[in-house]
Amino acid sequence: MTTATPSSLTFTPVYGPVWSWRYGKSLGIDPIGEISTCSFNCVYCQLGEIEVKTQQRQIYVPTDQILQALAKFALWNIDVITLSGSGEPTLAANLGEILIGIKTLTQRPTLVLTNGTTLGDPQVREQLALADKVSVKLDGVSKVQLQRINRPVTNLNLTELLSSIQEFRRLFPGELGLQTMILSPWSSSDRQEYQRWVKAIAPTEIQLNTPTRPKPLKRELAGRENHPSPENPPYQAQKLKSVSTSVLQDFAEEIQQQTGIPVRYAPGSNL
C-alpha cells in the first residue's frame, strides 16, 4: 500500500476537523476545488502560490457533491462548519445554496472566511448573510499594505473595499470578525486609520494574528488543514516574517481602548 504525499492527496470538498484559535473545532468545506483560486495571492497563504487568480464567480464544486460528502461525517463534536478551503469561498456562485444545504443537513453553525473583495456585489452580500458567522480579512488600510501583503489580482479601490464591508455589516445579523495578519509593526498613521474603519464597520470582534506557519513553495492541498508540527510541515516551505507577541498585545490593547470593540490575538497559527 502506498502512502499519499501531501501533494498527491485526493480532493474532497469536506476536510478536517481543523482546530481554529478563533472558532474552535471546525469542519472544513471547500467550495473552490482542487485548483486554488482566489482574488488575492497573499504572501502568507497556507495554500502556497494561488494557481488561478480571478474575481469571476462560478460554480466550482456542485452543491450536491458537497452535501453528499458532508452527510458521511459525525458532527456531534464540531463547533462550527467553515467555508474556506482552496481559495476565496465567495467566488463560488452556489455559496447561498451551500449554506442553506449545510444548515438543513446539520443544524450546525456556519462560518465563512472571506477576503471581502466580492462584497461590492449585492448578490454576494445576500448569500453571505445566510451564514451564522463571517470573518473578513483586513490586512491593511493603505494601498501599499494591500499590494505588499495581499497582492490582489486587480487594482482594487481600497475605499470601495472597506465601504462594501461596512455595507455588508449593515445587513448581516450574525457575528462579524475582522481578521488582520500582522507581518511587521504598523506606523502610527496606519494604526489610526485602521481604528477609524473599525469604528465605521463595527464588527463583533477583531482578530489579530501573525504568520508563524511556513508557506508552501507550491500548491499543497494539505495546506487547508492543521499539521502536528507547524514549524516542520510535510512539504517544502519558506519561513515567514512575523512579529512578537508583545507587538500584537500592544496593538490589541490600543484598538480596544480606542474603539471599545473586543480584540483577540493568537500568534502561532494562520487559521
In a domain, 113, yes or no: yes
Phi, psi of 28 (to 5 degrees): -85, 140
Would residue 3 count as lying in a domain?
no
What is the model's pLDDT at position 1?
Answer: 25
How many CA atoms within 13 Å lie on the side-chain side of 117?
Answer: 24
Q: Are strands 24-29 and 14-20 parallel, antiparallel or unpaired?
A: antiparallel
Amino acid identity of residue 70, one-letter, is L
Residue 63, burial from CB neighbour count under 10 angstroms (0-12, 13-18, 19+): buried
In a domain, 48, yes or no: yes
CATH number of the domain to which 243 belongs: 3.20.20.70
Q: How many domains is the chain built from? A: 1
Residue 1 inside a domain? The answer is: no
Predicted pLDDT of residue 119: 97
Cell numbers for 262: 473586543
SS3 58: strand
Please check whether residue 270 lies inside any domain of the structure. Answer: no
Report pLDDT for 235: 66
In a domain, 64, yes or no: yes
Determine contact, residues 153/115, Cβ cutoff 8 Å: no
Helix (H, G, I), strand (E, B) or coil at 181: strand
Domain-located, residue 2: no
CA-to-CA separations, 147 to 140, 150, 208, 251, 271, in angstroms, rounded: 9, 6, 19, 22, 22
- Residue 251, classed as helix, strand or coil, is helix
What separation, in Å, do the N-terminal and C-terminal C-alpha atoms of the chain show? 32
Per DSSP, which regions of 174-236 are E strands?
Answer: 175-181, 205-209, 215-216
pTM assigned to the model: 0.89
Residue 241 is part of which domain span?
Answer: 14-265
Q: Which residue has the cell 494591500?
A: 146
Q: How many CA atoms are closer than 13 Å to the CA of 195, on its beta-carbon side?
A: 20
Element (H, E) at 25: strand 24-29
Per-residue pLDDT of the chain (271 residues; tens, 9 = 90+): 223 334 446 889 999 898 888 898 999 999 999 999 999 999 999 888 999 999 999 999 999 999 999 998 877 789 999 999 899 999 999 999 999 999 999 999 999 999 999 999 999 999 999 999 999 999 999 989 999 999 999 888 899 999 999 999 999 999 999 999 999 999 999 999 999 999 999 999 999 999 877 777 677 666 666 654 556 666 666 777 889 999 999 999 999 999 999 999 975 444 4
| Cα separation, 106 vs 166, whole angstroms | 30
Say if 260 falls within a structural domain. yes
